[in-house]
Amino acid sequence: MTTDLPALPIRRSGTSDLMLPVLGVGCWAFGGGDYWGPQSQTEVDAVVRSAIEHGCNFFDTAEAYNGGESEKALGVALRGLPRERAIVCTKISPSNTAPATLIAHCEASLRRLQTDYIDLYMVHWPITAHSIHHFAPGATEVPTVAGAFATLQELRRAGKIRHIGVSNFGPQQLTEALATGAPIAVNELPYSLLTRAIEPTILPLCRARGVGVLGYMALLQGVLSDRFAALDELPEYRRRTRHFDSRKTPLARHGLPGCEAETMAALTAIRAIARRIGRPTSDLALQWAVAGEGITSSLCGCRNVAALHANLRAAATPLDPAILAELNQATEPLLAALGPSFDYYENPAHDRTQ
C-alpha cells in the first residue's frame, strides 16, 4: 500500500447505519460514452483497486450512465476483489419506478454490477411527469411515490439492496418520500463552491430528518479546476447549467442569459486564494465540498490513479476555517445571482426539484 496518502475520515449518513468515506468515486465516465469520451477498462480497474486500497471505497453509478456501461465497467473492476470492501451505489431512473419495472431494473443493475446486492439504491430524480420526461420523453405513466418506495422496501427485505436513497429531491419530495415510511439514508444533491443553493432549505431539512447528504459535482465538471482559463473553453456539453449564457450554448435548455460574470468573478477569487496558499484550485474546491455541515460525503470523478490520489490527498486534509470563510464570502454573490433553485440545468420556472 502507498503510505504517503492520508486516511480518509468516515462519516455516518444521517441516522442510518451507512458509513461512508468523505470522498466517493463518481463513476459516470466508466464504460465510456458521448459525454465524457472513451474510458479504458484498464484505467477503471486501476482506479477501483487503488480507491479500495486507500479507503475511498464508495462508488456511485446509475443505470442511465452510458446506457448501463458504467455499471458494467464497475462490475468488471470489482470482480475478484472482496465484495464487502466496496460500497456500491447505483440509481434507478424515475421513469422505471413502477413496482414490476423497478424490480426488473434492479435485477438488471445487479447483473451488470455482477453482485448479489447493492449497498445503496437511489431514485435518480423525483418521480414527477416533468422529471420523467428527461429520461423517457414519450412516457405517459407517472408511477406513484407510495408504490415505488414500498417496492424499494421489499427489495431491502429481500436483501437485494441494503439502503434506500434519493437524489435531487427537494423539501416537498423528500417529505413525501419519508412519509411512506421508507428509511432514506441519503439525498444526493449538487454541491460545490459554485453550486450552493442547497444550503438555505434542503440541507437543513435533511439534517433535521436524519437524512445524510451526498454532494455531487464537487468540481462542477471541471469548472473548479485550473484547466480552463475562460468559461468559453469548456466543452459545450459542460456549459448547460445556469452559470452559462444559453444563447451561446444551444445544448442548454434553461433559456436564460446565465450568470457568467458572477461565475467568472467567483472563480477568479477562488483561484487567487489557491495561488496565495500554494494549492491547486481543485484541492480547495474538494476540501470545501467535504467541510459543509450536514455533508456526509462528496463525489468526484477521476479518469486515472494519479487523479484519484490527488483527490484523496485534498479530501483528507482539513480546510483552514479562515480560508473556508474567505471562500464562502467570494462565492456569496454567485449564490445570490443563481437563486434558491438547485436544478441548475433548468429555468427555475421548470425546476424538477420542486
* Catalytic annotation, residues: 65
Grid cell 434519493 is found at 166
Q: What is the crossing angle of helices 69-78 and 41-53, to 10°?
A: 60
DSSP string, 94-157: GGG-SHHHHHHHHHHHHHHHT-S-EEEEEESS-SSHHHHHHH-TT------HHHHHHHHHHHHH
Measure the CA–CA gap between 60 and 211, rounded to whole angstroms.
18
Strand-pair category, 19-21 with 10-12: antiparallel
The backbone torsions φ and ψ at residue 35, rounded to the nearest 5 degrees and listed phi first, read -70, -55
Measure the CA–CA gap between 314 and 93, rounded to whole angstroms.
32
The strand pairing partners of 165, in sequence order, are 122, 186
The CB density around residue 235, as the number of other CB atoms within 10 Å, is: 13
335: nearest Cα among 203, 225, 236: 203
